[in-house]
Structures are given as structure tokens and as C-alpha cells.
A and B are shown apart, each in its own frame.
Chain A
């Protein structure tokens, strides 16, 4: 890492040389506390020899000084910043604020610990009328250059000027956009790219002292003078020519968990085109014919990053004129089935210990794998009574009732009911809690009915059409919340069993070895008498279990189907519990011993101290 030091004439400080700007050139790995998580990750990738667009970082030290100076960017910082930008210019062969081959950059905030309320990313900074013309000529694509300009104006107005009109009219001119922004924000977007950068850096530093960031630090005991860094990285252009494009690669398949890289590629496109879904990407292996070198390099990079980070990676990349650039790598989102398979295979490959593998799969993920589902052969001939939008997956069978009170009354007698409403209001929530399924006539997949059903995990179909449901009252139906269909009659619902899955059985065996209490499946012989929490007043409330379970050896009851219930049981020192499915309870019990209920906090603290 090439470092730039500057002398400060700040009377309050004794040290005179402070690192305020650094170039991330793959040399010495910088101190994470000084450069923040994002810059550290870029430096780490470069140190591994991976292709990353050139970047520089304004350090957390600069942020501290900024606040000590009462919110002024000292002149020295900007001089150093311009020197470091020259490095980005050399690396890219572009010029920041140049009239030909302009350099555009992304600007991101990044503290050593991520926290809410920090400034979002500004992309395409450096563009103005002149740069737009230059970019249009260079790429032979005036439409793209104009669009890049517009996206920058929208982002800058929203993030830096804290306001703006939202979406700008794509058919208007840049002058009109700037006038529109000036009218709504009271401030305008500077033409000078250096001024754009200066305001953005200030805005990042200001966001460090925003209300939400301060509240978060206070709650988690993070010092206020830790400061945030600012990462400035060259933009690359996936739409430069036919040997350019953008895409995403997962180091393993995130849906099945299979150990085969999986991804998509969109030729001649920028990242936004993939996100906005305006074009259909190709499978990744298209690159094997178009650019086999790039494809090979990409697979190697995915394998390297997975090995280094110890988990499946989701990597965004861009190819510019046949040259690969990695933009971001992070732990991949995955399906519950993939999570189970990956955890097991990474143990077999010697990449994880069994205990580590157990932390890669949550009780909630296993509950999802064990959720009842409709048998396909039954669905085929069934009569469809209504169709709507799928709002919460799952199968629910019951008698249709028309209001929440009726739902609650019927459910209290043990009857399974489906609540049918035109729309739902807060008055209906108690009925939704009691129901085995919810169906509505109006509203889409973001309606309150959908949101509440998902929060409760109740199968739900919304928007079946005005008047479609009244005729169903009093009939028994089956709700398929995953496909948005209501069938006549009670269709057979399959309840998956852990014993049928070798993966789940193996994980249960590993978890049992680390669990602080024994977990028996219902129907297995338990060693001693136990308390049935369903019959004890307050036995359904995790917070009350501590008192109820004092001096007790074993327990069963519905409350033990939740993480909070198992945590309470572990906290009460039970010898054993009896539950319908053992793996979720075992995983929750193992998590309780490592304090995973506070994992979000401790992970962050670990990140901060473990630099």
C-alpha cells in the first residue's frame, strides 16, 4: 500500500503525521479500523492477485479530524486526494474531469463496523455535460452516456443533497434535470467533478453523526470517534464493446447447494441493466465460447474467494474490452436446502469443522424444509375455486369463515379455518393468527394481508377478485399459498419427516454431540416424566418458562417449536425436551450455548476487535 501522510496543524493533537488517504494497490494489507470493511475487502482481493478496479480510500482518521475541526475538510486532505486520484487515472488510462476518456468513480462509506444510517453509494461521480459527450463518443453510445448522467443526478440529489425530485424524466435535458433538482433541494449539482467529490466526502462524514448511527453506536458500545472511511473506486464499463458485459457468479449453486459454480452474464451491459431486469441474462457458460480466458479466470477467482472467506460467495463482475474486473464479493444468499447441503459438503471437504457447519444452518431454515406441502398428484385433478396472487407459501386446509371473530371462535374449539376477507385491517389480525390460511379479494403481494400472513407464516392468497370469496363461506377448501390457488375440499398434505433425509439425520447427529440438553422425537421413549407446557398457564410464553421449569427435568409443548422456547429451556437447565422434529430444537440449543441470540451484536464486535 502506498501511503500519503500529511501534517496537521491541529492544536488539539500531538501527533503530526497521520494517514488520511491510501491507495489500495495490493501492497501491504491495511488496518481494517483505519480503512473500513469495504476498502479492506478490495485490498484483500488485490493482495490475492484478483482483478479489482483501482481504488483509493480516505481513512477513518480523516473522519476523526473532520469532526475535530468542527466539520471542515482541511485543505491538505484534498491535495492528497488529488494525488491519489492520479493513481486511478494512470491505472485506467482515464482522466477525472477529462474531456476525453473521462474517469468516473463510485463513492462508498465504510466503517470497520457496518451500522444503519450511513451514506449510501454514489455511482458515476465525475460526469457532467462535457464528460457525457466524451463518454458518448468513446463508447459510440449517446443513449448510455445520457442515462449514466441521469442516474448520477438522481443519486447525488437523493444521497448528497438529501432531497430531490426522485426519478428524473429520461427525455429531459441535463440542464432541465439540474434546474429541477435546484428547485426541490435548494442546492444544485456542481459541474466540477472535484466539487462533486468534495461534497460527497463531506456527506459521508456527516452521516457518521446521523441520529441512527449515533443511536446504534450507543447501544452497541461502539466509540463515537471510530469514524468512517470513504472508498473511491474507478467505474468500469460493461457496455464498451462486444467483448464487454456484466454478470454475477456464485461459487456454488445457491438453490441446490451443488458444488458447481452458477451464474448469469449479460453482454454489452452495465450492472443496473441486470438489476432492473430490462434484459434477459445468459447462463454463465456462454462465456466459455465467447471469452474462454475470462470464464476460466472467473472460476478461479470464485474458488479463491470461497476458500479465503470460508463460505459460498456471490460475486459481481464486469468485463470491459475482454478484461475481467471483480466488483464485489460477499456471502451468498441460499435456499434452506442449499444451506444444509453446503454445510455438510464443506465438512467433507475439510473446510469447516462440524461445529462451524452447525452455525451455517439455522433452526428456522430446517423448519422451512420440514413445512407441510401439497401432494402434486392430488392437486392435478382438484377443482379450483379461486385464483389470486401467491402471498405466503404453504398449504392450509379448513372451513372458510367470513370474519375474524368467527375465525377465532372456531379455532378456539379446535376447528381449522380459512379466513376470507375483501381486504384486511388491523381488526382482522386476531383472526389471521387463529386461521390456517388467509384469502383476500383485493390487494397484491405487498398488501397488509400479505405482510401479516408472512409475519405469521400463515399460507395466504391475495387478490382473488371482487366477490370471488363470499360464495366459499361454509365450504372446506385447501389454500396453496405458494401458487396462489384455492382448491375445493381437503387435499392431502404431506408432512416431511427428518428420517427421510440423510442430510438432516447427519446434521442432527452432529448437533446432538454439541447440544447442552437431549432432544427426543415425539413417540421415542423419554427417560423420565416431563411437564406438558401446553397444559400449564403461561407455558406458551418463553419469558415465563424460567419460573415454570425451575427444578424440572424434561418438557414438551408447542412453545419448544420456537428458538425462544428452546433458549428458555436451555437457560432453565433442562435435561431433555420432546419435540416433533429434533433438528430445529438441536440447532437452537447449540446456538443458545454460543449465545447466537446475540450473534448480530457479537459478530459486529468481533469484527471491530478482531482486526
Chain B
């Protein structure tokens, strides 16, 4: 992938991204991403606003056209596609886990979790750690074909570690790199690589 298209792919996942945020997703250098985005702006594929960037319709189209050729091998890689199948199974589990984390069953009624019950929260974080161990195996299998994906393993683990240390907003917080935020980005990344449609 050219530096420009790589940066645009990162931007597709981290919309309204700053070069630093995109570099963190891709495991690249901030300055190189900023330079690549500058080229994309000149080509009319990206627009800049308040220090962040966003793809234009032309940029989206250029990216989609690029994916088809660039990831043809990956899409035909049986081991990668099989690992992706295991990821989808974990994804269903993750979404249920996040829902359990965000809700509290009190005598048969489902209430929003106000985080007043430590045992409930500890249990959910423990389950998340168990899921992370299985996700790591899947990510290692996928990283064998595309090494960049190993980044997600570390980002997910970093969010888990913060949650375990007591910063519980790192489970599902929407404005930070929480476990759910990173997972959501990973899912989007995989859907784009494989040319799949999100079903919900």
C-alpha cells in the first residue's frame, strides 16, 4: 500500500482522525502520516478541518478501488479467512459481554449499570480478560498474513490492563481508546480488508 493510501485506510477507521491517532492505529510515524495526508488533501481525496482530517467521496472511492486489487491475496488466504471466522464468533461474545457490563439485572429488571456493585463489574472485567486471551490467538493467526494487525493485540491489552487497574471507563467508553473502541475499529478494519458488509 502506498503511504497515502495506507494513511487514508487509517483515516477510514479513525474518522476525524489526527495524524497521531491514525499513526497509533497503523503503528506508523506521525510525521509520515501527516505528509501522506497532505498529499491526499492536494489530490482532493481528504479534507482538513481543525487539525483533524476526513475522507471525501472521491477519497472513499479511491480507497475502495484500491482494496479490491491490494487485498485480493488476503481475501483468498484460507488461513486468514478462517481466523476471521473465529473473530466473528468472538465478536458476538464481545457484544454480549459489553451489554452485560453496561446493564445490571436487579430482581429480574434490567437497569443501566451505575457501577455500584463491584462484584458485578469485577466479573465482567474478568470475562473480558478471558476473551482477550482467545482474541490474541486469533490476532496472531491474522498477523501472520498481515503483520500490522498485531498492533490491535497490544491496543486491546492496554485497554484491558487499564480496566483491571480500576479505570473502568476503559471497558466501553466511547470517547477514549477503550476495549470496545479498539475492537470496533479492528472489526471495521477487517470488514474493509475483506470487502465484507457489516450486518449490524
Contact = CB atoms under 8 A, between A and B. Distances in A.
A427 B59 CA distance: 15
Interface residues of B, number: 49
Interface string B172-188: 11110010110011011
A338 B120 CA distance: 17
Nearest to B117: A333
B98 A446 contact: yes
A300 B75 CA distance: 65
Contacts of A364: 114-116
B138 to A, nearest CB: 15
A114 B122 contact: yes
A598 interface: yes
A255 B106 contact: yes
A331 B117 contact: yes
Contact of A330 (B15, B104, B119): B119
Contact of B129 (A116, A392, A442, A601): A116
Contact of A365 (B116, B126, B181, B200): B116
B13 interface: yes
B199 interface: yes
Given A212-B129, A368-B114, A456-B174, A426 B200 contact: no
A171 B120 CA distance: 34
A602 B181 CA distance: 28
Interface stretch (A4-12, A45-53, A378-386, A429-437): A429-437
Interface string A210-229: 00100110011000000000
Given A116-B164, A255-B109, A442 B174 contact: no
Contacts of B13: 426
A448 B184 contact: yes
Interface string B15-55: 11000000000000000000000000000000000000000
B120 A335 contact: no
B112 A368 contact: yes
Contact of B161 (A215, A253, A339, A393): A215
Nearest to B171: A455
B118 interface: yes
Contacts of A336: 111, 114
30 contacts: A116-B126, A116-B129, A215-B161, A330-B119, A331-B117, A333-B120, A364-B116, A365-B114, A368-B112, A368-B114, A426-B13, A426-B181, A426-B184, A426-B185, A427-B15, A430-B16, A448-B95, A448-B184, A448-B200, A450-B99, A451-B102, A452-B184, A454-B102, A455-B173, A455-B174, A455-B178, A457-B112, A600-B118, A600-B168, A603-B118
Given A254-B106, A333-B116, 15 more contacts: A116-B125, A116-B129, A216-B164, A220-B165, A333-B117, A334-B106, A335-B106, A362-B114, A368-B112, A368-B114, A425-B198, A426-B13, A426-B15, A430-B15, A456-B175
